[in-house]
Structure 1
């Protein structure tokens, strides 16, 4: 039964190892579950066929046992009727049936054993799928958190880059200030020297005007 081999391979596989080999674990989870559900359908169909075979084997064995019992009863009735020849024929038929009993009994035991194994594997697959279904949301939640953390890490890198850019701007501004100060100093050095004599002359010219005004005011007061 090829489906059994396939089933055993699936149950023996390490799903976590498979998840590590793909770029999108979430898609792999869904694919694993789809594969398992598909195999569950095959296992269920095979299990039903094996269980039907068990029932057929049991029915054939029961019918044989019933027929042997019937031949035994007819042989007894024939002897009770003092017909030994007929009794012998019934017993001969019973012997022929008995020769088949061993084979039918062995077939039934094998069919029953297969049915038990298939039912156990079917039930285990159902349980495993149920467990994976319950773990699926948990795994997806972890993947979502991981993706969020990755985005935060990228944002953190961007912030670090921005800080570096700000530092660079600060350095450029400092250089600009230094250049401006140097330029202003150079301009001051290049300016023509100031002649103080003009200020001094202005001082005395101002005083003369005041004296003249004072004399004029005195003259006016004396006149009055």
Structure 2
């Protein structure tokens, strides 16, 4: 009991979040704190049960003492009413002895009640701290997983940016150049064909051929009276 109560002030003043924030490895620290708190909580639970039982025993002893004093008072009154002063004195004497012990019984009960209150407070504090550790541990693990994923993504991005992406960019640029060249060649060939057609229209052979046909057509019309 004394050993556990000596740690009461330290436990009540402990700042779990501050300890975790200062830790070099928060996950490892959270695991260790959880183990320590679970161990302390187990001891405190067992001691709290024992102290609460002692409080109940002390209160029952005090209540019984009070009831005994009240009972002796009633018997003394009955003896006086019956005219038996001697018996009344015996009851009053016993009552005085019992009443003198009541102060001791009350002191024992008060001490047991104070100890029980401290143990319950310590139990509740440890339970709260353990919940804080578990919550922070889950949050820390989730954050650590996110950091690890981000680092992995950065590594992949770095690898791609340094090699594969550069190769893809070069290949795309090469294909774009090939496409531009092909389109330019097609455009040039189209212009050449148009020019060739236009030039053929005025070739001498074509003009002579067209002129002969026209002359023959005129002669035919004259013959036919047209």
Provide TM-score, normalisation by structure 2. Answer: 0.61
Q: Cα deviations across residues 108-147 of structure 1 (Å, max 9, x unaligned)?
A: 1222222223212212322232233233211110122223
1:23–1:120 Cα change, 3 Å: closer
Question: Matches of 2:156 and 2:4 in 1, distance apart?
Answer: 50
Deviation at 1:35, TM superposition (A): 0.9
Q: Would the aligned equivalents of 2:69 and 2:99 in 1 still touch at CA under 8 Å?
A: yes
Q: Would the aligned equivalents of 1:7 and 1:43 in 2 still touch at CA under 8 Å?
A: no
Question: Matches of 2:154 and 2:122 in 1, distance apart?
Answer: 45
C-alpha RMSD of matched pairs (Å):
2.8
Question: Matches of 1:137 and 1:81 in 2, distance apart?
Answer: 78
Is 1:95–2:107 an aligned residue pair?
no
Question: Matches of 2:9 and 2:153 in 1, distance apart?
Answer: 42
Question: Matches of 1:109 and 1:79 in 2, distance apart?
Answer: 36
Deviation at 1:96, TM superposition (A): 0.7
Deviation at 1:11, TM superposition (A): 4.4
Provide TM-score, normalisation by structure 1. Answer: 0.62
What is the number of equivalent residue pairs in this alignment? Answer: 164
1:63–1:125 Cα change, 3 Å: same
1:127–1:109 Cα change, 3 Å: same
Q: Would the aligned equivalents of 2:11 and 2:122 in 1 still touch at CA under 8 Å?
A: no
Gaps of at least 5 residues in structure 2 are 168-226
Match of 2:213 in 1: none
Question: Matches of 1:66 and 1:125 in 2, distance apart?
Answer: 39
Q: Would the aligned equivalents of 1:7 and 1:39 in 2 still touch at CA under 8 Å?
A: no
- Superposed, 1:2-81 pairs within 5 Å as 2-16=3-17, 18-19=19-20, 24-81=25-82
Question: Matches of 1:139 and 1:110 in 2, distance apart?
Answer: 43
Q: Cα deviations across residues 57-114 of structure 1 (Å, max 9, x unaligned)?
A: 1111011111111211221222223221111011011001111111211221222222
Question: Matches of 2:135 and 2:20 in 1, distance apart?
Answer: 17
Question: Matches of 2:101 and 2:7 in 1, distance apart?
Answer: 35
Question: Matches of 2:83 and 2:33 in 1, distance apart?
Answer: 74
